[in-house]
Structure 1
Amino acid sequence: MFKKPLSNLKTSAPLRSSDRRKLKQRIVAAYGITSEEGDILVPDGLLSIKFSTHVEEPGVVYTHPDGNPLWFTLGKNSEDLIPTVYTLWKKQDLLPFLSTPAAVVPILIGGADLMIPGVIHCPMALNEHQLVAIRQYSRKDGKPALSPPVAVGRMALPSDQLRSPVKEKGKAVHVIQTWKDHLWDMGSKGDIPADTVLDQEGEDISDSEDEKGGSNEAAATPPPASPAPEESEESNSATYTPAEVTELLHKALLQAISTTLKVLPSSSFPIPATQLYSNYILPCRPAFPTLVIPPSEDAPRIQSKEAPHVETEITIKASSHKSLTTFLKAAEKASLLTLKPPQKQQPDVLITAVNVAHPEVASHKPFATAKDIELTAAKKAAKEEKANEAGKELEVRELWKPHQSTVELFEEFGVDKHELFSMEQIRSLLNGYITAHDLVNPREQAYINLDDLLYSCAANESKSKSKGKDKGAEPEFTMDRFMKRDELTKKIVGKMQSWYEVKTEGKEPVTKKGTLKPIQVVMKVRQGRKVATLISGFEPFLLIDAEVMAEDLRKACAGATSVSPIPGKPAGSGSEVLVQGKQSAIVLEYLLGKGIPKKWVEVHNLSGK
């Protein structure tokens, strides 16, 4: 669909907050994700751009403030929101997927559809026209591996027909968008995430199809079923009978009705059966099935105190129903939900309502679900990533160099007068000198008796009392011969030369002469009533050009930016970045994200509001 450049591209326009919330609600309902996940996949500052494809089909693409396209629609007045590859990289389980050999991926990127012989793995219960992702199958160190999604498309036929031995030719998936196509080129073009290495061959991913064929038309046979599991040598394992799997899925349905389905607005119905199964029932399966329903066959064998490993896959295929439609009809007979027969345009059974007041739902005891475990792991990973990012904070140090009257003092300290010293080092050297020369006042321990060297460093030279004195006359000092330790340190540092050092992880530290001042973020009224945010003094901290910073803030703030010299300062003294609007919060977040310590950023509101 996007093998050629987009045409009739309109200027990007930021979505209003209300439109963004509506878009998020539609996506949360359609894909069965949490509100927190919705905030990640539909972020603040989302932009919309109208376009036409090379076949003159109109569409709208919704992009992240950083430019990455996240969602798009195709067709006039279409309400089907399709995730892009960038979105699927953020949440790889958003869509069910099919896998294909590495040799097929370049053909898909070139604009071809996925053919039946090129399919290695295909899940059950996929309907015609259902959105799916395509992932590349490979082997790494003898283990099967799956890449992140490399394409998005719609099923050309139901998955049960795809698995049929009679179906050996034809299209499996109509590809819509791929990695490295022209829609993908609109974004940052970042590196594809790492592959997921599987511990063992799954039921649908087999060695027989590994890297088979050199083209998408290569012959392939349906993946063989995996052999029956052998008796485990360990006692801490469990298997379930089909009837018990059915009961576990029934519990998952009750969990879904009492939690996620219960809060869905009525406008979210009807829901296709496969969507209910993929987005609501499967995520609500028990994370620890043996605590919900003990396996009858293996109960005597389970002796370990740890949760046993469940060898049976808790899916419709392993249940006594074998069919999703049969399972749902049984739920309808129990008055848990209401079904609607398949329609012409939608061959899937539809769920029109769920009975949240059903006695079984009311008496259902919640349990930890598979999705809960995934979310916990995701939060832990995000927390670790945030901690790693925090570890990349810039290290900013103020330094001082001996100058004028302090040079002799530092020579007396026994250090090189050309070195740079931090405040801690200066205090340590001074304390050592005071102790060595026994300069602590015996009566007032808080005061230091000044010897001639300290006195000459700390004293302030005053103007001659008489104008008639010669210019060469010695200056008069008006200061006591004792001083508090901190005050003495401050006096000595005040006569030294100021320097600073900015150190970034993995790079050589940058050391410069001068006094380091915090970055200024000022909101003020300009051009009548318009408020703008001005950023200056960032050059010592950021190793990026002002133009790059302005472009980053333009995307983050979804507003106009500009770069100009600082008014009232000589040329070459720095630049000032202007962002339209009151954007101090976003600017502060941007600067902190670059590793600048918060103490080195000052925010001022001079807009009078």
Structure 2
Amino acid sequence: MFKKPLADAKTIASLRGSDRRKLKQRVVADFGLQLEEGELLVPEGLQSQKISTHLNEPGVVYLSQEGDPLWFSLGKGTDGALIPTVYTLWKKPDLLPFLSTPAAVVPKLTGGADLMIPGVVQHSVPLAVDQLAAVTQYHRDRRGPPLAVGRMAVTSDTLREADEKDRKGKAVYVLHTWKDCLWSMGVSSKMDVPEPREVPRPETEEGPIVQQEGVDAEGDDLVDETAKLQLEDTPQSTGGQQDIAAEQTLESAEPAAAVLSPEDVSSCLRSALLQALQTTLSSLPPSTFPITASTLWSNHVLPARPVQPLGAGVPVDIGVMDIKQSTHKTVKVFLKACAKEGLIKLKETKGDVVITAVYPAHPAVAGHRSHKTVQSVEEKRGKAEERQRKEQEAEEKRRSELRIAELWKPHGPTVGWFVAAEKDTSHLYSVADIKEVFNAYVVVKGLVNAQVQQYINVGQDDALAQAVHVKGEEQAEFMKREDALRQIREHMQVWHEIRTEGGEPVTRKGAARPISVVVKIRQGRKACTLITGFETYGLAADDLAQELRKACASSTAVEPLPGKTTDVEVMVQGKQIKAVTDLLVSKGVPARWIKSEDLSASKKK
């Protein structure tokens, strides 16, 4: 919600004493607090500021006298739910029920992702859909401070019943996180994260705590279970955020660290070289050699390191699989050992070594069993992050896009039919609404043709007959259902509605017309692009001309349309259809409502 800077922020104003008391009473009532706790969370000197998120959703932020955001609400008016910020949750960590997640998932949450079900380790019960909840970092035997607040996407029963095969989907829709743009508004944004506190016993005032199935009370099985869930390449593991939480958890969850001896690390690195000899090194042409030791190491050996070495069953922090942690201590000594084994051929030059040949046909390479590599995990994570980014961009585009609906109002001969159907004649109806009214009417009146079900006996009902009658033609006895619906719409008055995310819908009489973007030849041989019909979509001519001047790096002008008293056109020098279309789409105008045409070629002919 606040992963990007606010679209608009009004002047900060001090809250009146009466308003502060009302807010405090509301906090005490909504969150079941004592009066003294209300004083702590709604302090003296409180200030308010009206804001708009980057998605243009209006809201109000309540700030402390020092300037730290303590509460916020979203939506128009003052009836939106009060939501505590992370600043407030650090003052009273048990204000909301909680869910804990591994350390590796936290950066994804602060980056704008929602919390997925696979990332939940522990949670309070009961939890209901749409209930406010805090998200903490998982610590064994301790409770981390709240780092995010959001609304539940599922119930605690759903979380508790989920097993490895169906643990997918979102657990929490995150609204605000530590380090997001709302947090950064505060003067205390540089403050350190509080230390984890002792975990209360399962039955406390905070309610019982549930460890996800497959994880014991001490948390020792957390990594094993999470690793199995996230390493298995199942068809269900396709969600971007789910994959990210999975792969990240493998590398960073605290209990996952496995202890490797120097001999184990040497074995891992040798296994990585064997894997590289089977794959990347075997495909290199002879002209590639000689290659430097650093190239072999960084491009082939390091990416081929195993994720789960030595059949340990748990992932290992790749930081421990370093040459300095092995028995060899240096890359040069390691390569010499591999050359002695006959896997590669070396040549010393000026105290360093270069690889002059590799031997993929060596028996040790042939007998090597392929493993999942660090590179494959990183590539999978990268693809998951890219999917997530594209999904978020598509969602933001969808939410910011104007929604245009065609509507119809009862008019002329259709008014009597709507009265007969006991419907409001001043209401605006969509296609689906008209169809629903029509279907209910013909059923109640028994107008469906007995022989052919798709025909309606319109002649048996005077009101319907008038609504579908075409002037100048004979009165129809029966019509196809689709034809009757079309005739009713044609006799109604056409309207349209344009709605933006978080804004009030704008309803106008007449059919919605697309924006016209036309290239014409003017003043001899000069081509120019003319844009008309944009007023319907809430765009101002002067603002549009100014933005097009920058986007097209060309001169623009606003001129009245010939024969029109109110409508204007924006003119841009040159053939600028693509640039104009891209700008209109970025403004939220759906591409299907932009009609472009190049008339310059026909003019030249």
TM-score bracket relative to the smaller structure: 0.3 to 0.5
TM-score normalised according to structure 1 size: 0.45
Higher helix share: 2
